[in-house]
Amino acid sequence: MRFTPRAEEVKRVVGILESGDYDTPEQMAKALLKDMADLMAMRDWVALSHRFSKGQLGLNWGPFASVIDATSTGEKLGGLGGEFSVVTLNSTGRLLGNVSSRKGAKDFCQHPDCGHAGWAHLMDGSARGRCGLEVCPCDKFRK
């Protein structure tokens, strides 16, 4: 799988590596793996779906980081016959963040007391205003 790290992902990994908060390499490795799993849950992925004929159950492979990656794999497997298609796997992290909060996550409000999705913020003129959720003290959407 081709994978391109994003700037915010690299920044979080560097933060762990430079923190000095870990007594052993194993503790640091655990923290890195947990953080990377959390970061990857914020991405949308792609699956390659295959079926031999209409009406049959298909096989699914994934995740792939991009449509191009999944499609090129399907082309390499073309000798199987049947049909291939690509399906988007929407982010579980964004799904959960949309119903609760993702403090510090990109595209979510950066207000220290908020962390809710942008769509949860009421319109204030031509910009996003305060969070529309009654339990949130956020007074202004922060990017």
Summarize pLDDT for 63-92 with one digit per residue, the tens. Answer: 999 999 999 988 888 777 888 889 999 888
Mean local confidence (pLDDT), 87-103 = 83
pTM for the predicted model, two decimal places? 0.67
Tokens 């992902």 — which residue?
9
Burial pattern 27-37, b for ≥16 Cβ within 10 A else e, equals ebeebeeeeee
SS3 category, 67: helix
